[in-house]
Amino acid sequence: MFPGVSAITTRRIPVVVTLLALLALTACTVGPSHPAHARQITAAQPTPSAPAPTPSASPSPTAKPAFKSLAWYVSQVPTFPEAPQPQPVALPTTGSAAFWHRLPTDQKVAFITIDDGGLARPPGVIDFIWEARIPVTMFLNSPAAAEHTDYFRQIEAVGGVVENHTITHNSLAGRSYDYQKQEICGAADRLEELFGKRPTLFRPPFGEHDSTTLKAAHDCGAKAVFHWTETVHEGKVRYQTPEKVVQPGDVLLMHFRPALMDDLLAALKAIHRAGLTPALLEQYVR
Ligand SMILES: [Zn+2]
């Protein structure tokens, strides 16, 4: 669905392995091979005139997915314009990380970010992200990441990227450099241990930060620090900018909460209404 997101494409092989392993465990409730899986994705848009996939692999044309089933969520995802070739943005060379509410780009993309990780981790999210090819960046608190590593690894396997959101989720603004560095570097160290890759992006808890935060984030390996332009909660998008429509480069914030499936769908619809395509933040901040 997002052909420009090569990071997802290149991760297909481990995903297939994961899915096959899951299928083996769950007694094959869906097609056992990757091609069959891909056809399910192609068939997700319920357009009557769309070319039919291989009949043997498709459900009855009259069958409608149950409300809020995985198939229903996938069927509600709009069809996006192809993602543009990402043009990475310039980064400061001042010894401090960049700070952005909205990524400075004119490209017709917006970014989905999911924060925290300790409160709820709806299991359907993994398959939804995979089947609808949703690019997501996860700003995780390191203790939640450590306690629920398998869950976040599965989202990584379907293209999600783990980034840094401190250890304790305390506000950093006004705190000493040492305190902030401990929160940011401590979480980065742990996330690197857990996922094998050091985070390159940072989001301060509550968005609260100061110039010390940007210096400490830089010193802990972050290239950019992100606020957001929209929040999404229980399926509702709340615009925090005057335009009241998603703009190129916008960053949508949601959380690992029980309604995350609804939040992802609402974000996708809002991005689509704006004529944009979801893209992966890490392809623009390198
Ligand atoms: Zn948070």
Distance 203 CA to ligand 1 centre (A): 8
pLDDT per residue over 230-254, tens digit each?
Answer: 999 999 999 999 989 999 999 999 9
Distance 165 CA to ligand 1 centre (A): 7
Determine the pLDDT at residue 177: 98
Determine the pLDDT at residue 63: 82
Distance 259 CA to ligand 1 centre (A): 16
Distance 144 CA to ligand 1 centre (A): 11
Lowest mean pLDDT among 11-25, 196-210, 227-241: 11-25
pTM of this prediction?
Answer: 0.81
Q: CA 214, CA 222: separation in Å to the nearest integer?
A: 9
- Please state the φ and ψ torsions of residue 266, each to the nearest 5 degrees: -65, -40
Distance 276 CA to ligand 1 centre (A): 26
Determine the pLDDT at residue 198: 98
Report the chain's mean pLDDT, rounded to a whole number: 85
pLDDT per residue over 112-165, tens digit each?
Answer: 999 999 999 999 999 999 999 999 999 999 999 999 999 999 999 999 999 999
Position with higher pLDDT, 232 vs 22: 232
Task: Give the β-pairing of 136-140 and 109-116.
Answer: parallel
Q: CA 140, CA 165: separation in Å to the nearest integer?
A: 5
205 pLDDT band, cuts 50/70/90, is very high
pLDDT per residue over 44-93, tens digit each?
Answer: 333 344 444 444 445 566 689 999 999 999 999 999 999 999 999 999 99
Lowest mean pLDDT among 21-25, 166-170, 193-197: 21-25
Distance 141 CA to ligand 1 centre (A): 8
